[in-house]
Structure 1
């Protein structure tokens, strides 16, 4: 294909105790038009990140695209990329993973190849874990893990989330840095907390796929959320308000966005103090990244 459009969904990760292991694709999308050119590189960005992200070879999408082309032993003379971004940057909604997945998908399309397991490996290498990348790549609910002596071979399994599951995000205006918020986490956790996380993560898989009535218990966490409170006190306040009202609320990824998961028969509580947050209801994306020709 010489001109095509890549559409990639946002993602949420962790989903409670499933730290670096659980991810889910959300119906908020970045779009990229990819055109081959006789030479050079031109990058145009509108929407989220416009005027802030680099528009040269340092753009994350471009770096991922180049990595995919090298892996597939393919070259192109030049490129024009038009990026229209709807995923908020640095809010815990997988904007960087979406850019990487879009770049990898574009590289595969330019090489005339279908996405495969190597595509996940390429995307996950940029972040060092596969939860967000796998969700944007595959859609639905994903279980991600790593293998090998250096834990540098990334794998993921896609599952269908329960059809009655609904997602609402509470997005604050301030941005976050995953590197900074990870620095708040302890190097070691008590054995009891590790055992608690293992049980809740296993329960979360069941709750998210077949038993949404178990979501509140399944999304309890002792691994990371409370440790992030000094960075995001308002985020943790909203999480606790929602959970006190019986809603399965979690910090989305590294924050500061809050994710609330509800069932068909479960409205969000009224009177919630969500000042400073933009509230969006999102479908759960089931398709993952999509590539289609233009014209």
Structure 2
């Protein structure tokens, strides 16, 4: 970078002096008789220009974060398998003098939720308290493409977006594993928050010390997904209340085998195993009671070419695994099957989000 200095101004040190318009010769000219004498400086010699004041760095005016939707369980992987989907929840925050406000756009915009009970704001404030820092008063704008109460991880996305936003605002003191720990604490289970944080397909493995580690699993490129979303709402609490408190040991052992077979089928591309590997005894038979025509819809999807169909999360969305370019046909068949049971539904591609939550600053 070039540095600039001021030019030194003044008369030359030698040459003729003038007094009263006449030449003055024969004696040295005193400084008082003309302009003050200027001693050449380095600035004079280099010919630098006046320095400009540096502008203060621009202060952030807005912070934002985005977190993906997710489908969890994938049949027998109850509370441990999760897959991130390209249905984003975007959250932006601007500082305001006092209080908190929330503006909702997209999915959930018709809900009237007390800001004190909002999951995004709750997670945002939680991380500041963990960091022992004052909680800033903010106006939040939440724009979501994730259908609510449909088994697509809207709650997990809200928590992860709030934590990610707060961590970025604080300067990023927490690693993703630490954000994962706090997300589990707020959500209660890891299967949706793990893919929302890390992206892709994750296996949440509990450790002996009570911590949970998220393991990344590969999804074959030649495996496609279709979501069939009925016009029903099922709360996670209601869906969990249906689950049995215990199961016979042979049933549990069979479920463990199918969960392992599912990961094997995905890693080796043995898609013919998916029909059996997706079967579950922990939650699907009980949650299926909340979905009219469940068995018929699953059957319609398989007849149309799906390798297998299961419930996404706690439902009522159904998740079909199939070969590429079959999604439209499978989706139409399942939507028609729902219609025969007087349930409106829509089909959408289940595009995988390979990256998890991110945040940025806006100047």
TM-score, normalising length: structure 1 = 0.91
| Matched residue SS, 2:66 | strand
Q: How many residues align?
A: 293
Corresponding residue of 2:281: 222
Aligned to 2:213: 155
Query: Which residue in the other structure is 1:133 paired with?
Result: 193
Partners of 2:301 and 2:333 within 8 A in 1: no
Q: Displacement, 1:60?
A: 0.8
Contact 1:235/1:256 (<8 A) preserved? no
**8 Å Cα contact 2:159-2:187 kept in structure 1:** no
Q: Runs in 1 of length 4+ with deviation above 6 angstroms? A: none
Contact 2:108–2:144 under 8 Å retained in 1: yes
Which of these residues, 352, 359, 363, is aligned with residue 284 of structure 1? 352
Distance 1:236 1:53 in 2: 35
Distance in 2, Cα, partners of 1:64 & 1:15: 26
**In 2: Cα distance, 1:278 partner to 1:246 partner:** 18
Once the two structures are superposed, residues 103-125 of structure 1 have per-residue CA deviations (whole angstroms, 9 ceiling, x without a partner) of 11011011111542110011111
User: Higher strand fraction: Structure 1 or Structure 2?
Assistant: 1
> Is structure 2 residue 160 aligned with structure 1 residue 101?
yes
1:71-107: per-residue Cα shift (whole Å, max 9, x none)? 2233343211100111011000000000000011011
Measured after TM superposition, the shift of residue 68 of structure 1 is 1.3
Q: What SS is found at the alignment partner of 2:296? A: helix
User: Mean alpha-carbon deviation: is it higher for 163-172 or for 70-79?
Assistant: 70-79
- TM-score normalised by the chain length of structure 2: 0.75
Question: Structure with the greater relative contact order (CA < 8 A, sep ≥ 6): 1 or 2?
Answer: 1
Aligned to 2:322: 262
- Change beyond 3 A, Cα 1:240–1:125: farther
54-63 vs 227-236, greater mean Cα deviation: 227-236
Distance 1:196 1:57, change over 3 A: same
Aligned to 2:23: none
